[in-house]
Structure 1
């Protein structure tokens, strides 16, 4: 006879069988059955101080590991608390699976503990889908569906809720096994968007056409987003594609590190600079790869390119927003770029590439001007970013928050590898960096991880510092304290609004960290800051490194 256990315990065993090693969450009377099987299944549980922290940890873990981040939460307030991280994960295409309990019945009975009018529907507003599993089989099917979809389509968070009585009921173990999907099967078809219609096309025909257009162009331009990360791994096609096409490049913030740091025609992550629109208008072949071109990438209505650009993206919603004259390939970026490299090798020997309209001098001129603009907008912060960049170990993974220090760094700090800087793009929640970095450090044991956060953002999730202490994570947390909501104050002044409600009383952050059992440092110079950061990477627990604008001198 198959072994039976309460369904709550079977869920943990199933997740372990599917490759889940870590779960983030907080137990409560409604979801305690889910905790019955965690240790028995051999899963590590990380106890957050707040469900928002658990969600950000799951997000950070997923970004660092490439595996789904899983969180267990209770009915009602527990799910509400994790909805902010779910919204952030949706915005940033992060694979997060949230499993919650729910009440058995809500229509005929009022006043129950943790009761909501429609918990499932509430969660659905911030995730890919939210479903209620009313049987063991439904629970197993939905978990498999979530895990399969994480590998087969654009990754976004999912929510599964299970009634309390079902969690407590005896259930047989899942009997079927669905292997992980082959990542090479992702998006295996191509479409080209013509006026008024989307029609199928042959993959190599479309890529051949793109190769010929790039080889004939004088000022070709690539824009790489986070969806192009897989194409930039060791041996990936991006360096060859750039060398053969002589194309200039931009990256979105999420795409930083995709373009080799030594590519002399890289404009960097400067899409939001207003005069970058003139570069797009002057380009005669623009290719957007794995990027949504969202508001938070551009801060204007469009990049500025002429009609006829090419878009490579697995998300049909992104392609549907393209100009009717654009070419749209619903395809995985790495596969398209690999085919493009092969097409270049076939066509380039028989073609004479026009003289390039780009030069290293042109790109350097723009970048120097943009750097000066950034320094004028946020005086001196560039020096802090430069000093941090120069002192972190190779391969450091950084989690940043909504703070002027991070806003500056995103534009001036070139990354030497993709997927190593994580920021709450899009949804833009405060408090992300500390718990997300904890999740990342859990996933990257023995590898350097750092958080960068502002004084106000730190207030949101400061309690999670206790988790980093409990786990003994050597995590530097660089806290930028300008004593106010500096970016909001600047925006209010620009809008001629009296900057009220932008200053809050701060604690002694160093003493606060020490009260949690963490280490602290308050360097007064950039040299002292670099030494504190380097020491923190070798500590036996987290270190809060407190800096203010006075450090600039």
Structure 2
């Protein structure tokens, strides 16, 4: 048995459990956690702020499917990463945050980084927050977190360890590669059609099959819970064709349905008319979606009682109508099983022309609501390789592009959907790029949101990441200004003075471009994808007006 300080053992254990990268910032309270990182063979990415470290871990997790891990210090370090933890919770991202904590707080005041209830504070933005007061408790909590990422809905976890415990000698943990094999399915769930059919009762499959094939307007809604499953576009495409069903996706579910599918309404649930379409459907199947406010931007989707919900989260299923049918299974099991069972001639009567008409109308609406964005989104699509990983921020460009940008594969456009924080895209894209290596990756931010986490540009320069960073500049908080006007509030505090973004890039050691028309915009993107290091692409919001 190897005895080391517990702080070092934790890094070795994480490596044994498949962790290759840790994002974080060292401090005097968590320096023991850094004793073992290099020896364990883990890459550490030094963020410039704990918020950046959290978003990097989030972006890494979304890109790779592995848990994103972050190390932070007691008190302010934990507080600074709580926004990324809240974002990861709302978007079901597997993130493990490990922090130090003070040895004792009840009888002592005035200590460095002291909080009244650090564990409780973290618990408000994550799945659970626990204190490991012994090495054995630390090992058990790490394994609990790792296995729960697989066994239930992925959400962030927080483990804190007292400083004296981190410094104390600890016996070795149980290694998966030697004393015990890694649990089946760790990081990748392996299933076969035969095994799947034995999991979901065949009478349930037959009931759903009968309803689908007898329905005149069958409709699927696919959400982010299905998007996290790789390789599902083919069986989904086959399933939709076999029953001639129409479909919507949530923003997080984009790419699950091939955009060339003639009965695909796309990510247009927020369009008011989608409620009428859903209400007219006589068999609605909701796969891996909460139908949350940020999916619909209204109170109800519009489905009639009797809808079929497929979700792993019992909290979601509990909100269903009493006449709905709820199946607590994941998307892989459900889609693969149902697709194999479908046969015969469907009775569906969906019109491809009507679907195309709605899509054209909605595209025109988006172009009218946010003038000048749709042409830029089209130009971006033409310029990017098909497998580009995209990270966007809370910016008007992303709000419009999420509805009109056709995604040909799932899990390749990441956005702070639920918590909705500014400053997400740059550090998340850095984490994503670290995870995917040579695969192309870009970040899209507004001029205001970029300045929330601009300091993380130094990390991209330091790591020489090939990363185009598109800054959409309208010189204001445009979405807030529009909302104030709609509410008949005189716009206030929505216009800010921006820096010279190209000179700012130069100061950090990054490349920069300021294209004046769409052709130059596309050239700038292609050049940035070949550059060694990040490139700021500063785009004024009226660029589409210039020939």
TM bucket by the smaller chain?
A: over 0.9
Distance 1:475 1:376 in 2: 31
Q: 1:513 to 1:202 in 2, by over 3 A?
A: closer
1:551 is matched with 543
CA contact (8 A) 2:249 2:269 kept: yes
CA contact (8 A) 2:233 2:255 kept: no
Residue number among 259, 266, 282 corresponding to 1:261 in the alignment:
259
Correspondence 1:271 to 2:269: yes
Q: When the two structures are aligned, how many residues end up with a matched partner?
A: 535
- Describe the superposition over 1:128-175 as per-residue Cα deviations: whole angstroms up to 9, x where unpaired: 000000000000000000001111110000000000000000111103
Deviates most, 510-519 or 335-344: 335-344
What is the CA distance between 1:338 and its match in structure 2? 1.2
1:451 is matched with 443
What secondary structure sits across from 1:267 in the alignment?
A: strand
Correspondence 1:353 to 2:351: no
What is the CA distance between 1:301 and its match in structure 2? 1.0
What is the CA distance between 1:176 and its match in structure 2? 5.3
- Describe the superposition over 1:260-307 as per-residue Cα deviations: whole angstroms up to 9, x where unpaired: 122110000000001110001110100000011000000111111111
2:465 is matched with 473
5 Å matches for 1:398-437? Answer: 398-437=390-429
What is the CA distance between 1:229 and its match in structure 2? 2.5
Distance 1:165 1:236 in 2: 53
Distance 1:342 1:277 in 2: 30
- Describe the superposition over 1:362-383 as per-residue Cα deviations: whole angstroms up to 9, x where unpaired: 1111011101111111011111
Query: TM-score, with normalisation over the residues of structure 1?
Result: 0.95
Q: 1:156 to 1:232 in 2, by over 3 A?
A: closer
Q: 1:384 to 1:530 in 2, by over 3 A?
A: same
CA contact (8 A) 1:524 1:550 kept: no
Distance 1:337 1:331 in 2: 10
Distance 1:378 1:221 in 2: 29
CA contact (8 A) 2:255 2:406 kept: yes
Residue number among 205, 208, 227 corresponding to 2:203 in the alignment:
205
Distance 1:353 1:268 in 2: 22
What secondary structure sits across from 1:13 in the alignment?
A: helix
Distance 2:325 2:367 in 1: 38
Distance 1:299 1:235 in 2: 26
Q: 1:235 to 1:476 in 2, by over 3 A?
A: closer
What secondary structure sits across from 1:473 in the alignment?
A: coil
Q: 1:530 to 1:180 in 2, by over 3 A?
A: farther
CA RMSD of aligned residues (A): 1.7
What secondary structure sits across from 2:4 in the alignment?
A: strand
2:361 is matched with 369
Correspondence 1:383 to 2:381: no
2:28 is matched with 29
Q: 1:465 to 1:231 in 2, by over 3 A?
A: closer
1:93 is matched with 92
What is the CA distance between 1:505 and its match in structure 2? 1.4
- Describe the superposition over 1:376-402 as per-residue Cα deviations: whole angstroms up to 9, x where unpaired: 110111111110011001200000000
CA contact (8 A) 2:139 2:173 kept: yes
Distance 2:207 2:249 in 1: 23
Gaps of 5+ in 1: 191-200
Correspondence 1:104 to 2:103: yes
Q: 1:149 to 1:509 in 2, by over 3 A?
A: same
1:20 is matched with 19
Q: 1:135 to 1:231 in 2, by over 3 A?
A: closer
Deviates most, 299-308 or 233-242: 233-242
Gaps of 5+ in 2: none
